[in-house]
Amino acid sequence: MLTFVVRRLLLAVPVLLGVVFVVMLTVDLLPGDAVTLMLGEHATKDAVARLRDHLGLDKPFLVRYLDYVGRVARGDLGRSIQQNRPVGDELADAWPATLQLTVAALLVATVVGLAAGITSAVWPNSLFDAMARLGSLFGLSMPVFWTGLVLIVVFALWLNWLPVGGAGSLGHLVLPTVTLALPSVAMIARMTRSAVLDVLREDYVRTARAKGVAEPWVLARHALRNAFIPILTLLGLQSGQLMGGAVLTETVFAWPGLGRLMVKAIFARDYVLLQGAVLVFALAFVVINLLVDLSYGLLDPRVGRQG
């Protein structure tokens, strides 16, 4: 078990190195550079040259890459080009907000999605099932920025129940959470419905029913436990999806998270800050995947024994 975890974490190192390389190369290839954007269109050639030199931007790409990796290995994420502030501080400011939003959305998506999916599976083709399927279709097809604005108009402008945007109170969290969770609710509900329906057709469920096990017990002990493996995979993927989706949701709701920080860094061609943010995202992905893999073992004892 421990060697499994250690091996997986070590494998993350080349992944992160690759991620940094690709991000840095992309920023390098984009037209426009940080210095021109900072000094503006009217800057003198001399000023541009001096700032490039100061920031080390005149060094070759590979030298900059190795420099950066070396510094990160020593725990130094560098200073952001635009704000000249430690990237660690910037990330520490933004990370909790994104975590809060992602976790809240994941919780809502899981609880609502599972409940809707199980209900649909137990009473397939009922009125509830039809409504849930329609709702899922809606949730999946509506873009986040549109749902977000509609929710703002209804709950902030017309009803005046919730704030328009920003962070601070629990009330501020409601609309962005709902907006972000909606597509995931739909995905999880559909996946749960089909997984539970499949399992309910299995022989062992029929056996359980035949030997007189009560229906709720059949559902909880036999059906759900087995249906949960594909759902868990989906949850792992969804948490990544939610972090990515947070970029748009954070913009619509003025939520001060990592997604906004990243967008800002891209527009400013601030590759130091961008890499810091991408590293955090990549690391979070690695950890979530690891957790999902570990929990397979808890649900299905066979998984642990094979490794």
Both structure tokens of 177: 């959470």
Is residue 182 classed exposed, middle or buried when 0-12, 13-18 and 19+ CB atoms within 10 A define those classes? buried
CB of 44 to another protein, least distance (A): 5
Is the Cβ of residue 154 or residue 291 nearer to another protein in the bound state? 154
CB of 62 to another protein, least distance (A): 24
Residue 79 CA to residue 84 CA, distance in Å, equals 5
Both structure tokens of 171: 């009330």
Residue 227 CA to residue 52 CA, distance in Å, equals 57
CB of 217 to another protein, least distance (A): 49
* 207 torsion bin: left (phi>0), alpha (psi -120 to 50), beta (else): alpha
Residue the block writes with tokens 């970029």: 247
CB of 101 to another protein, least distance (A): 13
CB of 242 to another protein, least distance (A): 19
Is the Cβ of residue 1 or residue 158 nearer to another protein in the bound state? 158
Phi and psi at residue 79, in whole multiples of 5°? -110, 140
CB 116 within 8 A of CB 187: no
CB of 241 to another protein, least distance (A): 21
CB 12 within 8 A of CB 284: no
CB 260 within 8 A of CB 247: yes
* 142 torsion bin: left (phi>0), alpha (psi -120 to 50), beta (else): beta
CB of 31 to another protein, least distance (A): 4
For the beta carbon of residue 239, count every other beta carbon within 10 angstroms: 23
Is the Cβ of residue 71 or residue 225 nearer to another protein in the bound state? 71
Is the Cβ of residue 121 or residue 178 nearer to another protein in the bound state? 178
One-letter amino acid at 76 equals D
Is the Cβ of residue 236 or residue 259 nearer to another protein in the bound state? 259
Is the Cβ of residue 82 or residue 289 nearer to another protein in the bound state? 82
Both structure tokens of 303: 């998984």
Residue 291 CA to residue 161 CA, distance in Å, equals 38
CB of 73 to another protein, least distance (A): 24
Per CB under 8 A, residues contacting another protein are 31-32, 36, 38-45, 47, 50-51, 54-55, 82-85, 90, 93-94, 145, 148-149, 152-153, 156-157, 160, 163-167, 251-254, 256-257, 260-261, 264, 268
Is the Cβ of residue 78 or residue 297 nearer to another protein in the bound state? 78
Is the Cβ of residue 93 or residue 198 nearer to another protein in the bound state? 93
CB 140 within 8 A of CB 186: yes
How many Cα atoms sit within 13 Å of 195 on the Cβ side? Answer: 25
